[in-house]
Amino acid sequence: MNYRITLAYDGTDYSGWQFQLGRRTIQAVLSGALEKLDGAPVTAYAAGRTDAGVHAEGQVVSFRLTREMDGATLLRALNGNLPQDIRVLESSQVADDFHARTDAKSKTYLYQLYNSEVMNPLLARYALHYPYDVDLDRLIEDSHSLVGTHDFTAFTVAECETRTRVRSVTGIKIERAGNILTFSFTGDGFLRYQIRTMVEALVEANRGRLKTRSIAELILSRDRSLVGAPAPAKGLTLMKVEY
C-alpha cells in the first residue's frame, strides 16, 4: 500500500532530512517509526530534502507499507512513535504511483528575519537576527529580478550535482509585521542552499554590499564566489508542497 503524509518538524536538533550514518535526521527517525509499525524496513521519500536546521510546516512524504491502514489510524500510530518535535499533520492512502518528490509541482518556503537592534529570544530558533536598517521597497524591487526561469548557479554549492541549474521561481512575497520580515518563495524546485543564498543576496544588496551592480547581474554571472555564505538554516521553513 502506498501512503502520503504531511509532516511538521522543528529542525533545530536534526542534521536535515536525508539519512546519514551516525546522524540524527528526520528521515532516519521517521523510518524507525515506520519500521516499528510495519515490521520491516521502510524507505520514505520527502518532497523537499531539507538541510540541517531547516524546519517544516508542510513537508510531504510518501512510502509503502505491507499493512493496510486507514489514514487516521496511521496518523495516531506514527505520532505515538515519533518525538514531539516531529508531528504528522495529515495521512492518507494514495494511488500506487504517487511519489512525494518526483510528483511535486511546486514548493513554498518561508524565510524569517527579526529586524531590531536586539533579538527576541522567543524567535531565536526560527528567525535570523538582522539588526540593520531595511529598505523594504528596495528589497521587494530587487526580489523581482529573481522571479522567472534562470540558471541559479551563483546561488548553489559548487559541488551541486544536478543535471541542470535552471529553476523557475514563480513568486516571491516580502512582508513586514512589526519587527518580523518574512520572505515567501514559491517555485517548481530549488537547488541546494538556493533560497538561503537568495536571502543573503537580497540582504547584501539592501546594505549596499552586493559585489555585482544588481541581483540581475549576479544571476547572469553564474559565479558562486560573488555572494556570501547562505543565510542561516534556522530562518527557513518548508511551508507547502503542491501536486
Q: Pick the catalytic residue: 38, 51, 135, 142?
A: 51
Task: Out of 121, 133, 159, 163, point to the residue binding its own copies (CB under 8 A).
Answer: 121
Query: Three-class SS string for 49-95?
Result: CCCCCCEEEEEEEEEECCCCCCHHHHHHHHHHHCCCCEEEEEEEEEC
Phi, psi of 62 (to 5 degrees): -125, 155
Q: Three-class SS of residue 111?
A: strand
Q: Which residues contact 129 (CB under 8 A, 6 or more apart)?
A: 113, 114, 119
Nearest CB to its own copies, comparing residues 28 and 88: 88
Task: Out of 4, 55, 150, 240, point to the residue binding its own copies (CB under 8 A).
Answer: 55
Told to judge if 51 belongs to the known catalytic residues of this protein, a careful annotator would answer yes
Q: Could you say whether residue 89 binds its own copies (CB under 8 A)?
A: yes
Q: Could you say whether residue 75 binds its own copies (CB under 8 A)?
A: yes
Are 55 and 238 in contact, with CB atoms under 8 Å apart? yes
Q: Could you say whether residue 233 binds its own copies (CB under 8 A)?
A: no
Nearest CB to its own copies, comparing residues 48 and 145: 48
Task: Out of 9, 14, 155, 185, point to the residue binding its own copies (CB under 8 A).
Answer: 9
Q: Could you say whether residue 237 binds its own copies (CB under 8 A)?
A: yes
Q: Three-class SS of residue 129?
A: strand
Q: How big is the site for its own copies, counted in residues (CB under 8 A)?
A: 22
**Closest distance to its own copies from the beta carbon of 9 (Å):** 6
Task: Cite the beta strand spans of 162-223 per DSSP E.
Answer: 166-177, 180-187
Nearest CB to its own copies, comparing residues 191 and 236: 236
DSSP output for 17-36: SS--TTS--HHHHHHHHHHH
Give the closest residue to 195 by CA, choosing from 243, 151, 236, 153.
236
Cell representation of residue 222: 553564474
Encoded one letter per residue, x for contact with its own copies by CB under 8 A and - for no contact, window 10-49 reads x---------------------------------------
Task: Out of 37, 52, 119, 160, point to the residue binding its own copies (CB under 8 A).
Answer: 119
Report the catalytic residues: 51
Write out the residues near its own copies by the rule CB under 8 A: 8-10, 55, 57, 75, 79, 84-89, 118-122, 124-126, 237
